[in-house]
Structure 1
Amino acid sequence: MAKGNNELPPEQQAELLETLKMRFEKNMNRHEGIEWASVQARLETKNEKLWSLNEMEATGGEPDVVGLDPETGEYIFYDCSAESPKGRRSVCYDREALEARKKHKPENSVMDMATAMGIELLTEEQYRELQKLGNFDLKTSSWVQTPENIRELGGALFCDRRYDTTFVYHNGADSYYGARGFRGSLRV
C-alpha cells in the first residue's frame, strides 16, 4: 500500500487525487467557496498527508474537504462515508482498553489505528459539524474523542444519528461492535 516512509508512489498519488477530485465535485455543499485547484496544489506538496488520505480511503472513510482554517490556510478533511468506515470497525477505544480485555480481544484499537494512519479522531463537536453536511451513521456508530475524566473511569464516547437527531452515548472503552468504527480528520 505505502512505502516504508509513508509516501505514495506517483501513480497512486494520481489515482487518489482523481478520486478526491470526483468526490469534491460531487459534494460541493460540504465546502462552499473552496476551489479544487487550490486543494490539489496544496496536496501535491504534502506527500505524507496524501499517504494519510490514502489510508482513510483504503479503510472506507471516503475523505472529503469540509472546511478551510482561515488562520493556518489548512484544508480540513473528514471521513464522509455514509456509515462508519468498514475497515475501522470492531475495535475498542485505546491500547489500555485493548490490553484490559481478558477474552475475545479485538485486533486493534481506535487510537492506535488513528495514530498509525496519521489522522485525528473526530471530537464530539466535529461529529456534530459533520452531521450538518448530511446524514451519517444511520445504521452504524462512531467512536469520538473522549474527555480524560470519562476515560479514567473506564468509559468512552460514541455518536450516531437516529430519528433525525445526533446522539452521544457512552460505553466501556474495552467494548467493540461490528457496527461501530471511527471517523477521522486530517489537516492539510
Structure 2
Amino acid sequence: MTMGNNQELSPEQREELLRTLRARFEKNMNRHEEIAWAEVQAKLGANSTKLWSLHEMERTGGEPDVVGYDQNTDEYIFYDCSAESPKGRRSVCYDREALESRKQHKPKNSAMDMAADMGIEILTEEQYRELQKLGRFDTKTSSWVKTPDHIRKLGGAVFCDRRYDTVFLYHNGAESYYAARGFRGSLRV
C-alpha cells in the first residue's frame, strides 16, 4: 500500500460518513443479514485510517457497504456497491507500467495507483462475482479487476461487467482506458 498521505477526517466529515454508511447499511440488509451496525461502527471508530479509506471510496462514487465478515481475522469486508463503476475512478488504465507506456493521450491515473493511494484493493474476479450475487452492478459500465500476473506480463489486463443477466470477464491492453470503465475496491476493517 502506498498511501502517500496521512489524512485525517474532521469530526464533521467523520460523522457525515458514518451517517451515510449507516443509512446505506440499513437500506441494504440483504448484503449483510447476520451483521449488526453497532459492531461495524465500533470497528470503524477504532481505525481512523480505514475510515479515511472509506471516505475516499465514498468521495469517488463507490458507495461502499458491508458485504461480509471474516471470522478468522475479525474483519468486516466492504465493497464498492454503486450501481455502475464509480464515476470518480473512470477513464483510467490498469497500472503504472501501462500509464508510462502510453506516448500520447495518457489518462490522469491508473486503477492500481488510485487504489493504493486510497488504501483499498481492487476486486478480484472472484470478489466481483460475489458482489454480483448481491444485486445488478455494471449494467452500463465495466470495472477493472485484479489481473493475474501471467496475463499482465504479456501486456494484458482484465475487466468485468454484467450484460444479458450474465457476468462477463474480458481482456484488453492494460494501457487502454474508457469513459465507462473504472474499478471497484474492497476494504477490510
- TM bin (shorter chain): over 0.9
Asked if 1:64 is matched to 2:27, the reply is: no
Instruction: Name the residue aligned to 1:80.
Output: 81
**Who is 1:137 aligned against?**
138
Map Cα deviations across residues 92-116 of structure 1 (whole Å, 9 max, x no partner). Answer: 0000000000110000000100000
SS in 2 for 1:104: coil
Secondary structure of 1:139's counterpart equals: coil
Q: Which residue identity lines up with residue 102 of structure 2 in the other structure?
A: R
Between the aligned partners of 1:145 and 1:124, the Cα distance in structure 2 is 7
2:26 corresponding residue in structure 1 = 25
Equivalence for 1:14: 15
Instruction: Tell me the equivalent position of 1:153.
Output: 154
5-14 or 85-94, larger mean C-alpha shift = 5-14
- Cα deviations by residue, 1:61-96 (Å, 9 ceiling, x for unpaired): 000000000101100000000000000000000000
Root-mean-square deviation over aligned CA pairs: 0.5
Aligned to 1:100: 101
Shift of 1:142: 0.1
Cα deviation, residue 18, structure 1:
0.3
Percent of aligned pairs with the same amino acid: 78
- SS at 1:138 equivalent: coil
Structure 2 unmatched ranges of 5 or more: none
Alpha-carbon distance between aligned partners in 1 of 2:71 and 2:129, rounded to the nearest angstrom: 20
Number of corresponding residues:
185
- TM-score, normalization by structure 2: 0.97
Deviation at 1:11, TM superposition (A): 1.1
**What SS class does the counterpart of residue 53 from structure 1 fall into?**
helix
Secondary structure in 2 aligned to 1:102? coil
State the shift of 1:5 in Å. Answer: 1.8
Whole-angstrom CA distance in 1 between matches of 2:51 and 2:30: 23
